[in-house]
Homo-oligomer: A and B are copies of this chain.
Amino acid sequence: MGLVVQKYGGSSVADAEGIKRVAKRIVEAKKNGHQVVVVVSAMGDTTDELIDLAEQVSPMPAGREFDMLLTAGERISMALLAMAIKNLGHEAQSFTGSQAGVITDSVHNKARIIDVTPGRIRDSVDEGNIAIVAGFQGVSQDKKDITTLGRGGSDTTAVALAAALDAEVCEIYTDVDGVFTADPRVVKKARKIDWIAFEDMLELAASGSKVLLHRCVEYARRYNIPIHVRSSFSGLQGTWVSSEPIEQGDKKVEQAIISGVAHDTSEAKVTVVGVPDKPGEAATIFRAISDAEINIDMIVQNVSAASTGLTDISFTLPKTEGRKAIDALERAKTAIGFDSLRYDDQIGKISLVGAGMKTNPGVTASFFEALSDAGVNIELISTSEIRISVVTRADDVPDAVRAVHSAFGLDSDSDEAVVYGGTGR
Q: When each residue 326-345 of chain A gets 1 if its CB lies under 8 Å from chain B and 0 otherwise, what string results? A: 00000000000000000000
Q: Mark A57-86, 1 if CB is under 8 A from B, else 0.
A: 111111011101101110110111111101
- A320: Cβ under 8 A from any B Cβ: no
Q: How distant is the Cα of A237 from the Cα of B92 in the complex, in angstroms? A: 49
Residue A6 at the B interface, CB < 8 A?
Answer: no
Minimum CB–CB distance for A39 against chain B, Å:
15
A56 CA to B19 CA in the complex, in Å?
10
Given contacts A57-B19, A57-B83, whether A50 and B76 have CB atoms under 8 Å apart is: yes
| Chain B residues whose CB sits within 8 angstroms of the CB of A50 once the complex forms | 76
Contact of A53 with B by CB under 8 A? yes
Interface status of A99 (Cβ within 8 A of chain B):
yes
B68 touches A84 (CB 8 A): no
Q: Would you give 23 A-B contacts (Cβ < 8 Å), ordered by A?
A: A16-B53, A16-B56, A20-B57, A23-B57, A53-B80, A54-B79, A58-B86, A58-B87, A60-B87, A64-B94, A65-B79, A65-B80, A65-B82, A65-B86, A65-B93, A66-B79, A68-B79, A68-B94, A69-B75, A69-B79, A72-B73, A72-B75, A75-B75
Tell whether, in the assembled complex, residue A83 and residue B54 are in contact, meaning their CB atoms are under 8 Å apart: yes
Partner of A83, one of B66, B73, B84, B94: B66
Contact present for A144 and B16 (CB under 8 Å):
no
Known: A16-B56, A50-B76. A83 touches B61 (CB 8 A): yes
The closest CB in chain B to the CB of A91 belongs to: B62
CA distance A86 to B65 in the complex (A): 10
> In the complex, which of the residues B65, B80, B93, B120 contacts A69, with contact meaning CB atoms closer than 8 Å?
B80
Q: CA A20 – CA B58 in complex, angstroms?
A: 9
Which A residues are within 8 Å of any B CB, using their own CB? 16, 19-20, 23, 50, 53-54, 56-62, 64-66, 68-69, 71-73, 75-76, 78-84, 86-87, 92-94, 96, 99, 120, 144, 146
Known A19-B57, A57-B16; contact A78-B68, beta-carbon cutoff 8 A: yes
Give the residue name and chain of the B residue nearest to A87 (CB): B58
Chain B nearest Cβ from A384, distance in angstroms: 41
Question: Given B16, B57, B96, which contacts A87 in the complex, CB threshold below 8 Å?
Answer: B57
Q: Which residue of B lies closest to A43 (CB)?
A: B53
Q: Are B79 and A75 within 8 A (Cβ)?
A: no
Q: Are A62 and B83 in contact (CB under 8 A)?
A: yes
A71 surroundings in chain B (CB, below 8 A):
75
User: What is the minimal beta-carbon distance from A397 to any residue of chain B, in angstroms?
Assistant: 39
From residue A93, how far is it (CB to closest CB) to chain B in Å?
7
Residue in B closest to A139 when the chains form the complex, CB atoms: B99
Contacts of A16 in B (CB 8 A): 53, 56-57
In the bound complex, CA of A125 to CA of B60 (Å): 23
Q: Are A62 and B78 in contact (CB under 8 A)?
A: no
The answer to whether B72 touches A76 (Cβ under 8 A) is: yes
Q: Which B residue sits closest to A82, measured CB to CB?
A: B65
Contact residues in B for A79 (Cβ distance below 8 Å): 54, 65-66, 68-69, 72
4 new A-B contacts, CB < 8 A, other than A54-B83, A65-B94, A68-B94, are A54-B79, A57-B87, A59-B87, A65-B79
* Contact among B53, B59, B146 for A76, CB-based, below 8 A: B53
A58 with B84: CB separation less than 8 A: yes
Residues of chain B contacted by A146 (CB below 8 angstroms): 96
Task: Identify which of A19, A79, A94 gathers the most chain B CB atoms within 10 Å of its CB.
Answer: A79
A57 in contact with B84 (CB, 8 Å): yes
Question: What are the nearest 4 A-B pairs in CB distance?
Answer: A69-B79, A16-B56, A68-B79, A58-B87
Candidate in A65, A92, A120 with the most chain B CB atoms within 10 angstroms? A65
In the bound assembly, the distance between CA atoms of A62 and B82 in angstroms comes to: 9
A93 and chain B: residue at smallest CB distance: B64
